[in-house]
Amino acid sequence: MALELNLKGRTVLITGASKGLGLAAARGFASEGCNLRLSSRSKDKLEENAAALHKEFGVEVQIFPLDLSIQTERDKLVAACPDIDILINNAGMIPGGSIDDVDDAAWRAGWELKVFGYINFTRAYLKLMRARSKGVIINMIGAAGESLDYDYVAGGVGNASLMAFTQSIGSRSADWGVRVVGINPGPVDTDRIAFLSKKRAKEVFGDENRYREFFKNYPMQRPATIDEITPSVLFLASDLSSYTSGVILTINAGMTHRRQR
């Protein structure tokens, strides 16, 4: 039996939509006939992506180049896009490093964009969606919140807090017709994992080009591909997941509980 997602005509807001998982989600929803509202800091990339998506899929695409680490910019986005059926919270890059490596300014900046960004967008859109008795909020979090690491303390603790937040809000929101769920991707083959892995390889081996050596202990000896994550985003956003709320879907091939060899 073919699964029909029936997402056509719905309006989707995606933050952090200029590249990586955000852009992949945009393509996925566009392929289903959804109208898109895309936001990130990069105006040039948003314009390029919007033109390509409209040309390929014929859907309506609006872009909002904003710095979503700033609350007034977040308020602008909500004011401009009140009628959203699906919100994908995806913007954020929390710096790696130990407590000695990540100073207060960097820690706060990372959390302001991702942790408080997700919280504040959820607060705003939960209110709007509750008034209409329908809506879906998906928080793209990260499996580092399940496997805490001294050398990724700001990111891991930030992700753990967003997991708890998602579970808390989603445990009640379904009563109002709004589903709130989270996705914890493990390492995904994006520019970000390459950047972080190269940084670590330079520290450990003195050669950033050896970064793929860190993948040998991953399941299948590789990170996930974007195409192994995006279908779950679409499925959770659809009515086929209408009884799913307040949960976190981890997609990391069992890495959280994998013993290092």
Range with the lowest mean pLDDT among 29-43, 71-85, 127-141, 198-212?
198-212
Q: Quick check: 233 pLDDT over 60?
A: yes
Q: How confident is the model at residue 219 (pLDDT cuts 50, 70, 90)?
A: confident
Judging by beta carbons within 10 Å of its beta carbon (0-12, 13-18, 19+), is residue 17 exposed, middle or buried?
buried
Nearest to 82 by CA among 98, 101, 62: 62
Q: Quick check: 2 pLDDT over 70?
A: no
Percent of the chain residues past pLDDT 90, beyond the cut:
77
DSSP for the chain? -PPP---TT-EEEEES-SSHHHHHHHHHHHHTT-EEEEEES-HHHHHHHHHHHHHHH---EEEEE--TTSHHHHHHHHHH----SEEEE----PPPB-TTTS-HHHHHHHHHHTHHHHHHHHHHHHHHHHHHT-EEEEEE--GGGTS--TTBHHHHHHHHHHHHHHHHHHHHHGGGTEEEEEEEE-SBSSHHHHHHHHHHHHHHTS-GGGGGGGGGGSGGGSPBPGGGTHHHHHHHHSGGGTT--S-EEEESTTGGGPPP-
Q: What average pLDDT score do residues 72-100 get?
A: 96
Tokens 């408080």 belong to residue: 116
Q: What average pLDDT score do residues 115-120 get?
A: 98
Q: What is the pLDDT of residues 11-31, one digit of tens each?
A: 999 999 999 999 999 999 999
Interaxial angle between packed helices 115-132 and 71-80, expressed in degrees from 0 to 180 and rounded to the nearest 10: 30
What is the value of pTM for the model shown?
0.93
Q: Residue 63 and residue 49: Cα distance in Å, rounded?
A: 9
Q: How confident is the model at residue 191 (pLDDT cuts 50, 70, 90)?
A: confident
Please tell me the CATH code under which domain 11-187+233-250 is placed: 3.40.50.720
Q: What is the pLDDT of residues 128-164, one digit of tens each?
A: 999 999 999 999 999 989 889 998 899 999 999 999 9
Q: Residue 22 and residue 143: Cα distance in Å, rounded?
A: 17
Collect all residues with Cβ–Cβ distance below 8 Å to 87 and sequence separation of at least 6.
12, 13, 121, 122, 125, 135, 136, 137, 138
Residue spans of the domains in the chain: they are 11-187+233-250, 189-223
Q: How confident is the model at residue 96 (pLDDT cuts 50, 70, 90)?
A: confident
